[in-house]
Amino acid sequence: MTVGETSVRALAYPRLTGRPEPGDEVLLNTGALDLGLGTGGYALVVAVPGRLPADAAGPGHLVKARYTPLQAMVLGADEQGSPYHDRLSDADDLGGMPVVVADLHSALPAVLAAYYSQRLALAGPGGTAAHGDGGNGRVVYVMPDGGALPVWFSRTAAALREIGWLAATVTVGQAFGGDLEAVTLHSGLLAARHVLGAELVVVAQGPGNLGTGTRWGFSGVAAGEAINAAAILRGRPVASLRVSEADPRERHQGISHHSLTAYGRVALARAEVIVPDLPGEFGAKVTAQAEPLGLRHDLVRVSVAGLHEVLAACPVPLSTMGRGLDADLAYFLSAAAAGRHAAALAAA
């Protein structure tokens, strides 16, 4: 689309704005694009003034992105008009289901690549565990509102759905657009288990996480709260560490301060913190950084043998902060280690 003399890529969410057509004049928000933010490579269509969409008159009474001009009315799985309300009204238990918690959205495909690879290995010759259906490891992604609010922004989630690695998505808090909507992370986890039949849930914020370079000013603090929610509901929380050998910022080298703060200070419930068995001096550094987390959590060393090959074969692109698999291998191996461990838990 053209803004003045400049052409820009623009993204529209048809359910909110209607579908733009060639020749339409549109109203754009270019804030993130102007600032050059990592996920701000698009202008966002606010409206097609000459052809506004019809008012959405659906059965839902949940308002997401509340009291903004683009607030969305959705049907919550946990609200009174939902066909699942009775099932969720007294639901209070995840039945020991593993819940992998990660800081960044980019961890999601790495977790799942290792999860399905390990499920296949555990199934043995002739086993089937390649897709998120039936008894083969049904996985649900629960997206809170720390990053993007519409799950539609995530090409990763869409690609994982397409290849069958994600059975469904649930959007909670102010996030919206999932296969199911829920008011809170707690009710979203319960919906994943009791409505969607999840055997594993992955909780990670959507694309576009927020950080300020301060100890507490980052949206990934919510990872600690997700550990608490999973434990309160008698799930089995699995903490994926954010690890990097390539990030130029000192606070993210080795184990990121995001993970150390979220799991070491915010998470009050006990979790299994996955420490990848990385080689060399860097691996020793990660192990040492993780040791204080053992005062509050159970540290689980997980081998990363063979995971590079698993990740290299992942059909969904791997990228974190603009770095691919080999540019930040430790990051993806750490996420994959959590998926490998979760597979063993789910199969037990």
The chain-wide mean pLDDT, for the chain, equals 91
Q: What confidence category does residue 46 fall into, taking pLDDT thresholds of 50, 70 and 90?
A: very high
Q: What confidence category does residue 38 fall into, taking pLDDT thresholds of 50, 70 and 90?
A: low
Q: Looking at residue 36, what is its pLDDT?
A: 77
Q: Percent of the chain scored above 90 by pLDDT?
A: 73
Average pLDDT over every residue of 216-242: 96
Is residue 133 scored above 60 in pLDDT? no
Q: Which fold has domain 89-347?
A: Rossmann fold (3.40.50)
> Which CB contacts under 8 angstroms, 24+ apart, belong to 283-287?
285/254, 286/241, 286/243, 286/254, 286/255, 286/330, 286/334
Q: Percent of the chain scored above 70 by pLDDT?
A: 93
Q: Looking at residue 203, what is its pLDDT?
A: 98
- Who's near 331: CB < 8 A, 6+ residues apart? 106, 107, 242, 243, 244, 245, 246, 320, 323
Q: Looking at residue 251, what is its pLDDT?
A: 84
Is residue 48 scored above 80 in pLDDT? yes
pTM above 0.75, yes or no: yes
Domain ranges of the chain: 1-54, 89-347
Average pLDDT over every residue of 166-192: 97
**20-29, 125-134, 153-162 — which one is most confidently predicted on average?**
153-162
